[in-house]
Amino acid sequence: MLPRAAPFPRLARLRSPVWTALLPVSIIVGTFGLLLAPSLASSTVLAAAITTPLLAFVAVVAVVRARLVMLPLGAAAGALAVWATGISGRLGTGVVTALACLTVGTALQRLIPGRWLLLGVVAMSVVDVTLLVSGFGYHQTAVLAAAQNNFHGPRFTGARIGGTTIGYPDLFLAALLGASLAGQRAQAWAAGLLVTLGVAYDSLLSPGLLLPATVPIALTLAAVAWARHRRRRARVARASGPEFSDCGAAAVRTARRTCPEHPSARHGSLTPRPTRLQDDDDGGAAHCGEAVR
C-alpha cells in the first residue's frame, strides 16, 4: 500500500522486456553465487549494511505516499536497527529492509512493461520453488546465516518477525506488486488478498522449513490480471450490444432520407456491417461503424 503512482519517471524511458529477466535471474545468481563462492557471503552482508539504509532513505523521499508520516517512522526504525537489540532491533531492521526493497521493487516495475510483469513474477516464483525443492535454497540460506552470525552490525538481508524470516527477494517482489497497482482501485483489494494468502500460506510453516514466499505474490498478481481481463471483456460485451443497435437505427434513418426507394427504406430494416470494434484499456466506450449502400 505504500508506493505512490509513477515514481522515478526517468526510468520509464528505459522500459524494455529485457528487464523481465532480472526477476528470475536475481534468485539464480543470489543462490548459486554464494554456493560457488561462500566467501562472498560476508561481503554480501556488508554491502547490505551499507546500501540498505541509503535505499530506505530514497524510498521515504521519492516512493512512499505518506512522506511526512514515513520520514519519522523510517528514522525511528533506523535508530532501533543500529542501537536496539532483541525484538525492537529486529523490528527496526525489518522496517528499514522493507523500505529499501520498496525502492528496488518500484524501480524494477518502472523498467518492466506491464504485459511482461506477470510473466517475470511467475518465472521468479517457479525458480524459487525449484531451488527450494532441489535443496539449493537450503544450502544458500545456511551459508548466508553463517555470515550474518559473524557480522557485528545491523543485518539488512531480510525481515525477521518472531521466528519467521522473510528474504530480500520476497520483499522487493511484494513492493513491485504494490508499485504496479499504485494509484489504482485494485491496490487496496490486492493488498488485502495478498495478506489473506500470506497468512494462509504461512500456516504451513514449521520449524526448520523454508517456503517460497514468492508464491502468494504471484497468485495475487495473477488474480489481478484475471480480474482486469474479465472487466475488459465485460466492457466489450456491453459496448457491442447497444452501440451496434444505435448504429443500425441511424443507418436506417440515413437510408430513408437519402434514398426513399432503398429496400431498407421500404421495409424499414437494414443490417449494418460492423467495420471496427475497439476496446479502450482506460475504460472508454467501444466504437463501431457501418457501411450503407
**pLDDT tens sequence across 56-67:** 999 999 999 888
Contacts of 229 (CB under 8 A, 6+ apart): none
The reported pLDDT for the residue numbered 116 is: 94
Tell me the range of 46-60, 202-216, 247-261 where mean pLDDT is highest: 46-60
Q: Do 277 and 228 share a domain, yes or no?
A: yes
What is the domain count for the chain? Answer: 2
> What residue type is assigned to position 167 of the chain?
G
pLDDT at 279: 41
Q: Are residues 192 and 223 in the same domain?
A: no
* Domain residue limits at 223: 213-293
d(CA 274, CA 280) in angstroms, rounded, equals: 17
Q: Scanning the structure block, which residue is given the C-alpha cell 460492423?
A: 274
Distance (Å, whole) CA 174 – CA 73: 20
Closest by Cα among 264, 177, 241, 251 to 213? 177
Average pLDDT value for the chain: 82
Q: Quick one: pLDDT band at residue 241, thresholds 50, 70, 90? A: low
Decide if 98 is inside a domain. Answer: yes
Name the pLDDT band for 270 (thresholds 50, 70, 90): very low
Q: Tell me whether residue 2 is in a domain.
A: no
Say whether both 205 and 254 belong to one domain.
no
Helices (H), 135-202: 136-149, 168-180, 186-202
In this model, does residue 131 exceed pLDDT 60?
yes
**Looking at the structure, do residues 203 and 221 belong to the same domain, yes or no?**
no
Q: Which of 212, 246, 275 is the last residue of a domain?
A: 212
β-partners of residue 247 are none
Burial of residue 117, with CB atoms counted within 10 A of its CB: 0-12 exposed, 13-18 middle, 19 or more buried? buried
Q: What is the pLDDT of residue 242?
A: 56
Same domain, 53 and 187: yes
- Phi, psi torsion values for 106, nearest 5 degrees: -65, -40
Is 190 in the same domain as 234?
no
Single residue among 155, 179, 212 that ends a domain in this structure:
212
pTM, whole model, 2 decimals? 0.75
Residue 204 covered by a domain: yes
Same domain, 219 and 260: yes
For residues 236 and 204, state if they share a domain. no
Q: What are phi and psi of 98, to 5 degrees?
A: -65, -40
Does 162 lie in the same domain as 37? yes
